Amino acid sequence: MKIGIIGVGLIGGSFAMDLRKVLPGAEFFGLDKNPEHLKMAADMGIIDTEGGDPEIADADIIFLCIPVDAAVRELPVLLDKIGDEALVIDAGSTKKQICAAVADHPNRRNFMACHPIAGTEFSGPKAAMQGLYEGKTNIICEVEKTAFKLQEKALDLFARIGMRIRYMNPEAHDKHIAYVSHLSHISSFMLGKTVIEKEKNERDIFDMAGSGFESTVRLAKSSPAMWTPIFEQNKENVLETLREYIHNLEEFRKKLAEEDMAGIYKEMEDTNKIKEILKGIPLNKKES
């Protein structure tokens, strides 16, 4: 089996590492716009060789793991180049624009729109790890538009690397993921910004920071190149989550200003039920 990895970073590299274990004998080729990442991925044994149009035409499966703006641009071109029986799987954090970009493509049946919920704040081949996908959710959109035989092939592979599958339509995916992922990133980035601005002349202050601060600003280490196009593609949903989040912060601020401490207590008590909700979320191995 010949497998192509376009974008040999955390997501693409980890797919290669996990699939190598369950597909002995498979050959992996890679493409990346960053030649250093491509060399690193080869040196690390993530890919066997570099790839190009001949390898793409000959591939059985291709994983497209690049920023979502590039994915929208590249996917239609990629579908033009592949063989009749090939399967292309993307891994983007937004699904509406990419599904729209190939809605009328003659090879739409060769494509499966996926969002593996497995990212971390790290990126590049060095961030890739074996077992990243074990126990993680993979959201598949418009599954009915993928050829039945290719659906089977993809689902078998996902099962073998330990992923659980959820099906959604692209609109619902983008709306809900804004709440449980995109908003977290903005809250984290702006928290980091607020503290850096305040404390820029007092570096020692970070000695006061504990694991709670670390946890809430962890996502502010994330890659701007990856996240800028996500926010752009999911603009309307993200604006809506931000509006609600800012409103809740304003209400909290008002309660505190008015010394409504019973109200503050209740806000926190009501939100404590997040404990139950969080129980179901699998952590990454590097973090747990």
The residues in 249-288 that bind a copy of itself, with binding defined as CB under 8 A, are: 249-250, 252-253, 256-257, 259, 261, 264-275, 277-278, 280-284, 287
CB 32 within 8 A of CB 150: no
Among 27, 48, 58, 199, binds a copy of itself (CB under 8 A): 199
- State how far the alpha carbon of 246 is from the alpha carbons of 163, 186, 197, 216, 252, in Å: 34, 11, 20, 17, 10
- Residues 36-95 binding a copy of itself (CB under 8 A) are none
Secondary element (H or E) of residue 4 = strand 2-6
Smallest distance from a copy of itself to CB 242, Å: 5
- Residues 116-135 binding a copy of itself (CB under 8 A) are 117-121
Give the start-end residues of each E strand in 32-125: 49-50, 61-64, 87-90, 111-116
Whichever of 107 and 233 has its CB closer to a copy of itself, that residue is: 233
Smallest distance from a copy of itself to CB 49, Å: 32
Among 20, 95, 96, 185, binds a copy of itself (CB under 8 A): 185
Whichever of 3 and 238 has its CB closer to a copy of itself, that residue is: 238
Smallest distance from a copy of itself to CB 104, Å: 26
Determine the length of the chain: 288
For residues 128 and 45, give the distance between their C-alpha atoms in angstroms, rounded to a whole number: 11
The HSE-up count of residue 142 (CA atoms within 13 Å, CB side) is 21
Q: What is the SS3 assignment for 87? A: strand
Q: Candidates 18-26, 58-66, 98-106, 222-230: pick the segment binding a copy of itself (CB under 8 A).
A: 222-230
> What tokens appear for 243 in the block?
């509006």
